[in-house]
Structure 1
Amino acid sequence: MTTFIIEGGHQLKGSIQPQGAKNEALQILCAVLLTPEIVTIHNIPDIIDVNKLISLLQNLGVKINKIGSGSYTFQADDINLKYLESPEFKEDGKGLRGSIMIVGPLLARFGKGYIPKPGGDKIGRRRLDTHFEGFINLGAKFRYNREDHFYGVEADRLKGTYMLLDEASVTGTANIVMAAVLAEGTTTIYNAACEPYLQQLCKMLNRMGANISGVGSNMLIIEGVDALKGTEHKMLPDMIEIGSWIGLAAMTKSELTIKNVSWDDLGQIPNVFRKLGITVERSGDDIHIPAHKDGYEIQNYIDGSILTVSDAPWPGFTPDLLSIVLVVATQARGAVLVHQKMFESRLFFVDKLIDMGAKIILCDPHRATVIGHDFKSTLKGTTMTSPDIRAGVSLLIAALSAKGTSTIHNIEQIDRGYERIDERLRAIGAKIKRVS
């Protein structure tokens, strides 16, 4: 197990470049399975979850060549389908939540796709029904081996159809889209997710020869084609990391510039942090956060009632940043209700913040009320364990703002989603050390 030792209470200064988007990478990398031609992808983040998926693709027979920092070529012209039924695949696949998205491309191109029950963050139920109901609607036969939690779908040729998704699942929509692009006829997906990363996937597939319309809306219409060709694609910056750096700047009263953020794809993120009283300035395609020497004050609603920050499917506020909002609120002037609607275990890390001196009332698994200290009382350094990617980074931000030294164990969880985070933080003045 690897650990971070953090000396808190230091102001940071400088600029930081966000990595490529983790959630986009997991979709885009699976799409290389849809063509035997070469696909070149740039701005791939060097993080555990993405590297696991690249390794899984390599084991499937995809030819992978690193051509530069964050840039790879992929060619899926000799896929080893026997690997899908091997004990090795059952072990490799279950260690990564994103592995579910290989099923759609494999089903579309080869007529079968298998996956063990995937792992990932322990943040509550994350059901797979939307994925498999979509495949069944397209004509696939579904089977599930309860003994070893192994899912499978098979079809000679998928057929386009109309479907209304029971939830606007991002990974579910991506998986169904990747299956439908090679299906016979027209597929209409209503209540589709429309996140920027899904838009990126659809644009890439269209460049490969797919025929997808309605991109950016909640209704996608896909005219099936016989085959797709190669393409080149560059990933967006990671919006969750961008939000994390905004929170870090505010909590440490630091002046930071976040470079090349793709402002037009940030949606509600700048607005939500402004409601918490944080100054978020646009400078070209950069974000500038001035040092908040006098702190920051949470805005109440017009009628004076307490601000509520809650998550929702795009264009609502992403659930991945609610833990950052919660930490930032611990030093604000005022109070906020954080309502995590989409996952029921994501707020359970607040006990660690309470141990550090934060004023938080955990109302139930979905809601927490935070009463800010206004920096009149600093958080205290402590020893804690990272439960998942986003909570881990939230605890790291709390530790960097705290008085004294903090220890965070199980930082492999943070490494799953953040590239060389300790090196990049040291470059802007953070006192952070990685130890085994």
Structure 2
Amino acid sequence: MGTFQIEGGHQLQGKIQPQGAKNEALQILCAVLLTSEEVIINNIPDIIDVNKLISLLENLGVKIQKLGKGSYSFKSNELNLDYLQSEQFKKDGSGLRGSIMIVGPLLARFGKGYIPKPGGDKIGRRRLDTHFEGFINLGASFRYNKEERFYGVEAPNGLKGKYMLLEEASVTGTANIVMAAVMAEGTTTIYNAACEPYLQQLCKMLNSMGAKISGVGSNLLVIEGVTELGGCEHTILPDMIEIGSWIGLAAMTKSEITITNVNWEMLGLIPTTFKKLGITIERRGDDIFIPAHNNGYEVQSFIDGSIMNISDAPWPGFTPDLLSIILVVATQARGSVLIHQKMFESRLFFVDKLIDMGAKIILCDPHRATVIGHDFHSTLKATTMTSPDIRAGISLLIAALSAKGTSTIHNIEQIDRGYEDIEARLKSIGAKIERVD
């Protein structure tokens, strides 16, 4: 188990470039299974979760060639479908939640797809019903082996387009259904579809491969099925979750940081939400400039004077992946704020570690926490802690970088799952952080 030792309390300065978007990469990589032709993908982040999926695709028979940093060529013309029934696949697939998205492409192209119950973050229940109900709507049969925790869908006679209203706007569920529907016979209409930038990027890539998807960017997608798809070249967006993480880092450490090449048009409410905490965010071309907040930052209140409430919601609402960052940043704000995590019931359980560091937080229930900011009158105290998941892990790292003294964070593999070469990149802007095995 890896460990970070962090000497906090130092101001940072410099430029940092966000990696490619993890959540987009997991979808885009699965889409290479839809064609036998070459697909080139650029700006792939070098992180554990993505590398696990690349390894799984290679075991499935995808021919993979690294073209340069973050750029790969994929060719799925000779797949080994027997791998899907192997013990190795059960092991590989169960260790990565994103592996669920190989089912849609395999079902579309080969009439069958299998997956062990996938793992991932321990942030509460994350149902797979949306995925499989969508496949059933398209005409697939479904089975679940409870003893082996193994899912299977089959459509030996092919898939047929259908209208469906999704019970929830699941991002991965929508992606999986879209990838299955692009080669279904007839027209598929998906209402209450997710419309996150990751999903928009997937649809744009599929259209460049020959798919016919309209309504991209809305919650109503219409897909006219085609018989086959071709190759393409696609570039992954910068990771908006990492961008939000660096905004939070700059504020908490009173640092002057420039985040480069952020693709502003795809950031949604992220800049606006951080501004509600009083953080100054300047747009300079396609960069974000955060000045040093030497006088702190003050939480806004609502027009009627009531306490600020920041909550997550499906896109274009504020992404749940950044609520833990918002919560940490609020611990040193001037004023109070209610954080409401609506989508996952266990994501706020890391606040006990912040309370140990001296933060004033009231955990109201599994979904809500009230934060009373210190306004930097008292800094967080260095401590020893363990990272429970990716987003809580980076939040604790930010807290440690702001705390005076030396903190220790164990189980940093969780952070490595979502953040590329993080200690080297933080060191480049002046952070004092060391990785200890």
User: CA offset at residue 98 of structure 1?
Assistant: 0.1
Give the residue type in structure 2 aligned to 1:18: P
Secondary structure of the residue aligned to 1:151 is strand
TM-score (norm: length of structure 1): 1.00
Deviations 1:107-163 (A, max 9, x none): 000010000000000000000000000000000000000001000000020000000
User: Aligned residue for 2:45?
Assistant: 45
User: Aligned residue for 1:253?
Assistant: 254
Q: In 2, distance between residues paired with 1:164 and 1:301?
A: 35
User: Aligned residue for 2:234?
Assistant: 233
User: Aligned residue for 2:59?
Assistant: 59
Q: In 2, distance between residues paired with 1:307 and 1:319?
A: 17
TM-score (norm: length of structure 2): 1.00
User: CA offset at residue 218 of structure 1?
Assistant: 0.3
Q: In 2, distance between residues paired with 1:391 and 1:158?
A: 40
Secondary structure of the residue aligned to 1:373 is coil
User: CA offset at residue 81 of structure 1?
Assistant: 0.4
User: Aligned residue for 1:137?
Assistant: 137
Where does structure 1 differ by over 3 angstroms across 4 or more consecutive aligned residues? none
Secondary structure of the residue aligned to 2:248 is helix
Deviations 1:223-280 (A, max 9, x none): 0000000000000000000000000000000000000000000000000000000001
Map 1:56-205 onto structure 2 (within 5 A).
56-156=56-156, 157-205=158-206
Matched, 1:212 2:213: yes
User: CA offset at residue 60 of structure 1?
Assistant: 0.2
Map 1:410-421 onto structure 2 (within 5 A).
410-421=411-422
Q: In 1, distance between residues paired with 2:77 and 2:14?
A: 45
Secondary structure of the residue aligned to 2:375 is coil
Matched, 1:291 2:299: no
User: Aligned residue for 2:268?
Assistant: 267
Q: In 1, distance between residues paired with 2:331 and 2:433?
A: 22
User: CA offset at residue 79 of structure 1?
Assistant: 0.6
Secondary structure of the residue aligned to 1:7 is strand
Structure 1: segments with no counterpart, 5+ residues: none
Deviations 1:296-331 (A, max 9, x none): 000010111000000000000000000000000000
Q: In 1, distance between residues paired with 2:250 and 2:115?
A: 41
What is the number of equivalent residue pairs in this alignment? 436
User: Aligned residue for 1:243?
Assistant: 244
User: CA offset at residue 19 of structure 1?
Assistant: 0.1
Deviations 1:53-81 (A, max 9, x none): 00000000000000000000000000100
User: CA offset at residue 290 of structure 1?
Assistant: 0.2
Give the residue type in structure 2 aligned to 1:143: R
User: Aligned residue for 1:362?
Assistant: 363
Structure 2: segments with no counterpart, 5+ residues: none
Q: In 1, distance between residues paired with 2:20 and 2:220?
A: 27
Alpha-carbon RMSD: 0.3
Give the residue type in structure 1 aligned to 2:4: F
User: Aligned residue for 1:395?
Assistant: 396
User: Aligned residue for 1:338?
Assistant: 339
User: Aligned residue for 1:18?
Assistant: 18
User: Aligned residue for 2:307?
Assistant: 306
Q: In 2, distance between residues paired with 1:277 and 1:296?
A: 5
Same amino acid, percent of matched pairs = 83
